[in-house]
Amino acid sequence: AVPVALVAGLSRATHFGVLVKGAAPLEALAGIRTLILDKTGTLTDGQPRIVSTQSHGNLSGDDMLFLAAAMDQASKHPIAQAIVAVARDRGLVLPVPADVVETAGEGVAGTINGQAVLVGSPGFVAARTSGNVVNDVSRVSGDPGSVVVALGVDGVLAGHFVLADSLRSGTATLLAGLRKAGIQRIILATGDRRVVADAVSGTLGLDGVHADLTPDQKVSLVLSERSHGTVMMVGDGVNDAPALASADVGVAMGARGAAASVVAALGYITPVQGALLQEVIDIAVILNALR
Ligand code: ADP
Ligand code: MG
């Protein structure tokens, strides 16, 4: 029944505006054992608001936002883009950062008006500054969707921001649909902190949780799950690209413009826009029904 299933899947995919390169991802879609989900921008809507700003030194909250947003102009991370948007909304005019070095999924370093600036995950900034971000951050809430972004200036921890990102509505229903379609294991793989990962996993009833992962560790997780069966990875097309490429089926959420063409070229199934997970479930359900 494979050719019939593929024809049905392909026309369905085309109908939904999903780009498919080659038949292999669709064939794999019919036999997925494990679904690995990224959190930020995948399970959450990726449009967080800043809910609090904590300075650990002399900088005001406005100075912190100015430096973090100026630096984050150099990053395509959804959190980075949210910070830039907040700053622009407040009318800040941001200088262009120099000497930029991005560590994908962790943070970005560079120079702004002669100051060495780091912005990114608490672990990323703590590893490159003095000051105890870990203790400070452990007091922050573990609400699903809450994100902590740390700021380092001239080698010292300057402070951190707490951002609230909401879980996408309807995710629990989508995951139930995928289980119906035959997926046995649904696990979370996030670069975010353990408290947040556990809270998300509890809310959605997931089968496994991996927190504090770097993009390389996500690749290792995908490969180790592949030794047990077919793996679909759903993540962010930019930061999770290596993990998406390592899976049998890679799904890039919300990839637009240049990012969309990159993931399409790599053979991922790529959303043109919007609620992709639903589209993938529909295709998986059809393929499994026809098998
Ligand atoms: P997930 O795996 O859940 O999508 P990521 O690995 O993409 O999460 O990001 C983990 C954390 O890294 C974020 O919660 C945020 O603290 C931080 N982070 C990564 N890159 C940046 C950046 N460029 N600017 C600000 N924060 C960043
Ligand atoms: Mg992500």
- Interface pTM (ipTM) of the complex? 0.93
| Domain finish residue from 122, 146, 164 | 164
Q: Is 225 in the pocket of ligand 1 (CB under 6 A)?
A: no
Q: Is 131 in the pocket of ligand 1 (CB under 6 A)?
A: no
Shared domain for 10 and 53, answered yes or no, is: no
| Domain finish residue from 129, 164, 199 | 164
Angle at 82 between CA 274 and CA 79, to 5 degrees: 85
Q: What is the mean pLDDT of residues 138-153?
A: 76
> Counting Cβ atoms within 10 Å, is residue 63 exposed (0-12), middle (13-18) or buried (19+)?
middle
DSSP readout, 207-224?
A: SEEE-S--HHHHHHHHHH
| Residue to mutate, 121, 216, 253, ligand 1, most ligand atoms under 8 Å from C-beta | 121
Tens of pLDDT, residue by residue over 30-79, are 788 999 999 887 888 777 889 899 998 899 999 999 999 999 999 988 89
Enzyme catalytic residues: 38
Cα–Cα distance between 217 and 169 in angstroms, integer? 28
Q: What is the pLDDT of residue 176?
A: 86
Quote the tokens at residue 235: 């993540």
| Cα 49 to ligand 1 centre (Å) | 14
- Selection from 143, 207, 150, 148 nearest residue 175 by Cα: 207
Residue 120 confidence (pLDDT) above 80:
yes
Tens of pLDDT, residue by residue over 77-97, are 889 999 999 999 999 999 999
Shared domain for 235 and 97, answered yes or no, is: no
| Cα 278 to ligand 1 centre (Å) | 25
Comparing 272 with 73, which gets the higher pLDDT? 73
**HSE-CB for 136 with a 13 A CA cutoff:** 22
Q: Is 191 in the pocket of ligand 1 (CB under 6 A)?
A: yes
Q: What is the mean pLDDT of residues 213-236?
A: 92
Quote the tokens at residue 146: 């809450």
Q: Which atom of ligand 1 is nearest to the CA of 149?
A: 16
In the chain, the number of structural domains is: 2
Cα–Cα distance between 19 and 260 in angstroms, integer? 9
Shared domain for 15 and 83, answered yes or no, is: no
The domain of 154 spans 49-164
Q: Which atom of ligand 1 is nearest to the CA of 102?
A: 23
Residue 200 confidence (pLDDT) above 70:
yes
Q: Which ligand is nearest to the CA of 108?
A: 1
Q: For the domain that residue 127 is a member of, what is the CATH number?
A: 3.40.1110.10
| Residue to mutate, 65, 167, 192, 218, ligand 1, most ligand atoms under 8 Å from C-beta | 192
Q: What is the pTM of this model?
A: 0.80
Which helix (H) or strand (E) segment holds residue 89: the answer is: helix 78-89
